[in-house]
Structure 1
Amino acid sequence: MSEKKVKNIFVNGAIEPGFIANSIANHSAKTNIGGHSIFLGQVRKDEIDGKFVTSIDYTAFEELALEKMQAIREDIFNKYSLTCMHIHHSLGIIKTGEICLFVFTSSAHRKPAIDACEEVVERIKAELPIWGKEIFEDESHQWKENI
């Protein structure tokens, strides 16, 4: 693995729409970019056993997750011709309707950005030690891994 500084992908609380908008706006000066791909993960109000989810409490084995994310980041940059990639994942209690995952990839052309974004999302869900505990209307909890 390279000697690059490991980037912290974790955000305490929900990812705010203004943060997402600013991230997009900040790329307008990068005129070598021709395509962006964005994935936004939002907490659903699932019904399970007659109860509705009101929020998810996200936890992670942060050090391991960040090391693994750095390896994924390097793999993706080696595989796709990207200009940049930004990943943000929430920790803590995120209410239904709020954003908990923001993946933003950019490249000179749309296809690498789209393909890289999709692969990053799938690898985050499959490989990172991040867990979500569903919180229901009656405040009982049920674990779900890699939400």
Structure 2
Amino acid sequence: MGKKLDSVFFEGAIPAEFLAEVIGTYRVKSGTGGHTVFMGQVRADEVEGKTVSAIEFSTYASMAHEKLKEIRKEAFEKYPLHDLHVFHSTGRVEVGEICFVVFVSAERRKFIYKATEEIVERIKSEVPIFGKEIFEDESHQWKVNTDG
């Protein structure tokens, strides 16, 4: 199970129990009517005949926090959101484990789908988080993020 390092980052996989706790806090927020949760997990991609078994994530944490703060501020300016949580793994995460979560809530559902998609894409393209794909034979290569 992953260890929470700060408000965003976990060492290892993001535990389902932690996500259940976050979701559970919304029972008492009576003005919120809709939520979206994007969860990214490590896939067993095949690359040049080798299968990914894990991804080892690293980040430049202080720069990542600043960029995430900027993305958050701009999302709240653009959309009528109630809340936004972002969690990401660092260190090794095995295939099938959760490594990235974006949780968005608002009074109504109308804007949260578009907001969530935009936030996810901005994080993937702008925040200094790097993934090294580890193959079954323990060889590796740096992951290149692509759209979608």
> What TM-score does the superposition give when structure 2 sets the normalisation length?
0.91
Q: Alignment partner of 2:31: what SS?
A: coil
> How many angstroms apart in 2 are the aligned matches of 1:136 and 1:98?
15
Counting only pairs closer than 5 Å after superposition, residues 63-102 of structure 1 correspond to structure 2 as 63-102=62-101
Equivalent position of 1:42 in the other structure = 41
> How many angstroms apart in 1 are the aligned matches of 2:144 and 2:124?
9
AA of the residue aligned to 1:42 = Q
Residue by residue over 1:3-56, the C-alpha shift from the partner in whole angstroms, topping out at 9 and shown as x without a partner, is xxxx83211110111111111111011010000011000000011111111100
> How many angstroms apart in 1 are the aligned matches of 2:112 and 2:19?
17
AA of the residue aligned to 1:59 = S
| CA RMSD after TM alignment | 1.3
Structure 1 unaligned regions, length at least 5: 1-6
> How many angstroms apart in 2 are the aligned matches of 1:112 and 1:48?
36
AA of the residue aligned to 1:36 = H
Q: Does 1:31 align with 2:23?
A: no
Give the drift of 1:146.
4.6
Structure 2 unaligned regions, length at least 5: 1-5
AA of the residue aligned to 1:31 = S
> How many angstroms apart in 2 are the aligned matches of 1:39 and 1:128?
17
Give the drift of 1:71.
0.5
Residues 68 and 127, structure 1, Cα contact 8 Å, conserved in 2? yes
Give the drift of 1:66.
0.7
Give the drift of 1:145.
3.8
Equivalent position of 1:3 in the other structure = none
Q: Alignment partner of 1:67: what SS?
A: helix
Residue by residue over 1:50-99, the C-alpha shift from the partner in whole angstroms, topping out at 9 and shown as x without a partner, is 11111000001111111011011000011110111100010000000000
Equivalent position of 1:54 in the other structure = 53
> How many angstroms apart in 2 are the aligned matches of 1:55 and 1:129?
19
> What TM-score does the superposition give when structure 1 sets the normalisation length?
0.92
Equivalent position of 1:141 in the other structure = 140
> How many angstroms apart in 1 are the aligned matches of 2:87 and 2:66?
15
> How many angstroms apart in 2 are the aligned matches of 1:64 and 1:94?
22
Residues 84 and 105, structure 1, Cα contact 8 Å, conserved in 2? yes
